[in-house]
Structure 1
Amino acid sequence: MGMSEQIRKQLAAAALKRHLERVSGAVQVHGEGTAVNATARTGAAAGGAWDARARFEAMPLYRQVSLIRQMGDTLRVSSPFFRVHEGSAGATTRIGGREYINFANYNYLGLSGDPFVTAQAKDAIDRYGTSASASRMVAGERVVQRELEQALARLYGTDDCVAFVSGHATNVTVIGALFGQGDLIVHDALAHNSIVQGAQLSGAKRLSFAHNDWRELDALLARVRHEFRNVLVVIEGLYSMDGDLPDLVRFVEIRRRHGVFLMVDEAHSLGVLGAAGRGIREHSGVASGDVDLWMGTMSKTLAGCGGFIAGCQPLVDMLRHLAPGFLYSVGLAPALAAGSLAALNRMLAEPERVATLQARGRQFLREARAAGLDTGTSAGYAVVPVITRSSLKAAQWANALFEEGINVQPIFYPAVEERAARLRFFICSTHKPEQITHAVDALARIAKR
């Protein structure tokens, strides 16, 4: 790259950042209603007040979408999002008739598309049809729905389990239903959006602590615990953005010391951590009862769709009868329940899948670091980011890799801070060692251009 080209790109990046900051500021103003109301008042004088307000283009959400599009135009890179896959996606995928090495999916143990899992889902369709057709309280139970919940309860060593049709909705409806005014919800600063949304819905006071910093949480609770009736602490078993994990033993100690409820989101740790894939409980050696709410999803290791909460019987009874996301939502489709149950049984019967996944994750982390790539705080379990510290680089590197037959998604501003822009690699047990080496070598070469 010539000096003039380097200067041009540096200037473009600087201009982009200033532009995004301006637009982001405008979004915040509109979020407060100031600019929109001003527009409405102006429109009122002209006789078109309500027409001016009833426009989707004036909504803050649309302005955020516009921001993303403007960023792509400014960077002069094509969008890497919403590419159409032409079959089952795992270690490889087909896009536009071409096969790619795929690092953009959560099929951690290769069970989505597994013949046994697929056959069980097809049998369930033949027996139950494609939908539960109504909420389970209205339409009743299907045997396979309860079989899945009971298997998950056995996995976690809990009294019972309840399954929901969405992982995101599981956190939102459970946290929102169980806690309210007079309560406190404290979560990791990097908690998933669903946790934050659930806390906001609940009406409880919401605080956060520095990522994985159990000492800060301990000090926070020492100061404020006495001010609240119920306190919920929410952490994740494996953080999907950074690929690191908490010291669960320390959080369990804090739970006991301060008398709080502890919830662990195992969306990305089930099937990934522990010798048999039983998650962070197995990895950390804690007892089942040391955590009050075990949350997980069926859309990753379990090759289906939906979420679940495993815990004591009073907890599950409350959720089955009163959680809006269960009570007023259609029941989990029987085919999805059957597929996830088959995937769970397959995982437990074939622990070598978990061992292979962990080996592939360690390989990627080791080779990426040896190549001088910044992998942040990743522990090498299925999720490995490569920090670019530039939205421009993240977009360019992702597109350059795509041209070389490697599919990986960038994460850039405003989803993360500019300095935290990255590529995020998801590793599967079905990735071959040579595929990982090829991807790391290609990325290292691209990064040096």
Structure 2
Amino acid sequence: MTQGFGLSATARTALLHRLSKRRAEAEAGPAESPGRDLATLPGIRDLEMVREAGEALGLESPYFRPHDGIAGAHSSIGGRDFVNFASYNYLGLNGDARVAAAAKAAIDRHGVSASASRLASGERPVHAALETALAAHYGAEACLAFVSGHATNVTVVGHLLGPRDLVVHDQLIHNSVAEGARLSGARRIAFPHNDWQAAERELIAHRRRHGRALLVIEGHYSMDGDLPALEHFTTLARRHDALLMVDEAHSLGVLGATGRGIAEQCNVAADQVDIWMGTLSKTLSACGGYIAGRQRLIDLLRHSAPGFVYSVGLAPPLAAAALESLHILHAEPWRVAALQANAQLFLSLARAAGFDTGGSAGLGIVPVILGSSVLAARMAAALFEAGVNVQPILFPVVPERSARLRFFLSAEHSAEDIGQAISAMVAARDGAAALRLKAS
């Protein structure tokens, strides 16, 4: 690896020259019709620029590293044990013997795949059992499970709205919601992060010119680890005749004293939210997504949402694993308490060490904001060398000034694991500062 966390002035100038030249070539576009030339596909040249920058900085890509086994609080990568902060296994249920047994029993009974669309011929009893349990979790009338969390938002938002409608969402909303809104053709307006007053100003200004309005927020934002003031969003949704949708992907099993999510965290009745969305791939240790709400909504989606009607049904072992995980969540709230205690410990130690953790609530996700993609990439590489696996989040995923390391905590992390990570960050930061001082 290149020494230090920065570049010399000469190296920086050379790198910027190469990247700016490549950017200019990309913006100029092909001289002729691209035809079958894959090199002209949107994003290809940006990807090549990122790779070139990594090579110039002497950094290996931190992405797509193969894990040798279960990625929990620890994971084996290339035969070496790492403290792992790059997994959504919040409650440690991926790998739990009871969850594995439920999945294996489903395979023995139904096989690995549903083999068809559930509408056509793919329904299995475990699908209904999972949906009934999730509906009960939210006190909702019904629920519908999909094969992908991302596809859930795309197909539901894209299907429920049309060109005459309005989508108002937090500016940090997940890509899946933005893609669903784009698919729908509805007018899409983003409001400043977690600013319910700004959301209301947008509704006041635009609501009357549209048919249906959808207000979308997340229960726990995965880039920042912060929360919305749910009580304010429920009030303004009703005041402006808008449907309120909450994405619980990172809040189920993480927020609230017993892990029931943002409604429990904010002491808001769950029926104040019209559309509950969540994923099966995090706390519930499976794969897929779900929508919970009123029976009429679920009936409509079940019979007409393209991402459900024209997709194979959720694999039976995944449905069984998610159902068993949900049962364990309800039966063992100590897991939620352990997760939240670990997140609070990490947050307090990181702040005490002088790191910027933004607005994280310290409930499951803690970012360490470094303000430079180069610095974030180098810090992640240094931590990996020290036996700590954490992913950098770089421009353009976040603004350059907000480049960060993103730590996902687990109920299974120990105080020693957390201390090791903080110590590694401090050592990397201090070592870089000493090298910069020596160079100057």
Instruction: State the TM-score, normalizing by the size of structure 1.
Output: 0.92
Partner of 1:262: 244
- Cα deviations across residues 388-415 of structure 1 (Å, max 9, x unaligned)? 1111111111111111111001111222
Name the CA shift for 1:205/1:94 in 2 (closer, same or farther; >3 Å): same
Map 1:169-208 onto structure 2 (within 5 A): 169-208=151-190
Partner of 1:414: 396
Partner of 1:9: 8
Report SS of the residue matched to 2:217: strand
Partner of 1:346: 328
Shift, 1:287, TM fit? 1.3
The partner residue of 1:39 within 12, 15, 32 is 32
For residues 372 and 176 of structure 1, what CA distance do their matches in structure 2 show?
43
The partner residue of 2:136 within 147, 154, 165 is 154
The partner residue of 2:275 within 289, 293, 310 is 293
Partner AA of 1:401 in structure 2: L
**1:237 is the counterpart of 2:237:** no
For residues 354 and 447 of structure 1, what CA distance do their matches in structure 2 show?
32
After superposing the two structures, state which structure 1 stretch, 411-420 or 115-124, moved more. Answer: 411-420
Structure 2 gaps of 5+ residues are: 432-440
Partner of 2:77: 95
Map 1:161-172 onto structure 2 (within 5 A): 161-172=143-154
Report SS of the residue matched to 1:87: coil
Q: Is contact 2:6-2:374 (8 Å) kept?
A: no
Name the CA shift for 1:169/1:22 in 2 (closer, same or farther; >3 Å): farther
For residues 40 and 18 of structure 2, what CA distance do their matches in structure 1 show?
19
Q: Is contact 2:5-2:375 (8 Å) kept?
A: no
Partner of 1:43: none
Q: Is contact 1:296-1:307 (8 Å) kept?
A: yes
Report SS of the residue matched to 2:8: helix
| RMSD between superposed Cα atoms in Å | 1.8
Name the CA shift for 1:268/1:5 in 2 (closer, same or farther; >3 Å): closer
The partner residue of 1:277 within 254, 259, 265 is 259
After superposing the two structures, state which structure 1 stretch, 54-63 or 84-93, moved more. Answer: 54-63
Name the CA shift for 1:20/1:156 in 2 (closer, same or farther; >3 Å): farther
Partner AA of 2:242 in structure 1: V
Q: Is contact 2:170-2:216 (8 Å) kept?
A: yes
For residues 93 and 229 of structure 2, what CA distance do their matches in structure 1 show?
29
**1:358 is the counterpart of 2:340:** yes
**Identity over aligned pairs, percent:** 54
Partner of 2:419: 437
For residues 14 and 230 of structure 1, what CA distance do their matches in structure 2 show?
52
For residues 241 and 167 of structure 1, what CA distance do their matches in structure 2 show?
17
Name the CA shift for 1:137/1:5 in 2 (closer, same or farther; >3 Å): closer
Name the CA shift for 1:57/1:153 in 2 (closer, same or farther; >3 Å): same
Partner of 2:119: 137
Report SS of the residue matched to 2:374: helix
For residues 123 and 20 of structure 2, what CA distance do their matches in structure 1 show?
51
Q: Is contact 2:281-2:287 (8 Å) kept?
A: yes
Name the CA shift for 1:154/1:7 in 2 (closer, same or farther; >3 Å): closer
**1:218 is the counterpart of 2:211:** no
Partner of 1:58: 40
Partner AA of 1:135 in structure 2: S
Structure 1 gaps of 5+ residues are: 41-51
- Cα deviations across residues 271-306 of structure 1 (Å, max 9, x unaligned)? 000111000011111112211110000000000000
Partner of 2:98: 116
Partner AA of 2:29 in structure 1: A
Map 1:296-445 onto structure 2 (within 5 A): 296-445=278-427
Q: Is contact 1:364-1:436 (8 Å) kept?
A: yes
For residues 19 and 265 of structure 1, what CA distance do their matches in structure 2 show?
41
Deviating above 2 A after TM superposition, structure 1's stretches of 4 or more consecutive aligned residues are: 4-27
Name the CA shift for 1:19/1:247 in 2 (closer, same or farther; >3 Å): farther
Q: Is contact 1:149-1:160 (8 Å) kept?
A: yes
Report SS of the residue matched to 1:294: strand
Name the CA shift for 1:13/1:190 in 2 (closer, same or farther; >3 Å): farther
Name the CA shift for 1:76/1:325 in 2 (closer, same or farther; >3 Å): same
After superposing the two structures, state which structure 1 stretch, 349-358 or 132-141, moved more. Answer: 132-141
For residues 212 and 189 of structure 1, what CA distance do their matches in structure 2 show?
8
For residues 9 and 350 of structure 2, what CA distance do their matches in structure 1 show?
26
Report SS of the residue matched to 1:434: helix
Q: Is contact 1:13-1:392 (8 Å) kept?
A: no
Name the CA shift for 1:25/1:215 in 2 (closer, same or farther; >3 Å): farther
Partner AA of 1:39 in structure 2: E
- Cα deviations across residues 223-264 of structure 1 (Å, max 9, x unaligned)? 111110001011000000111110000101111111101100
For residues 141 and 267 of structure 1, what CA distance do their matches in structure 2 show?
24
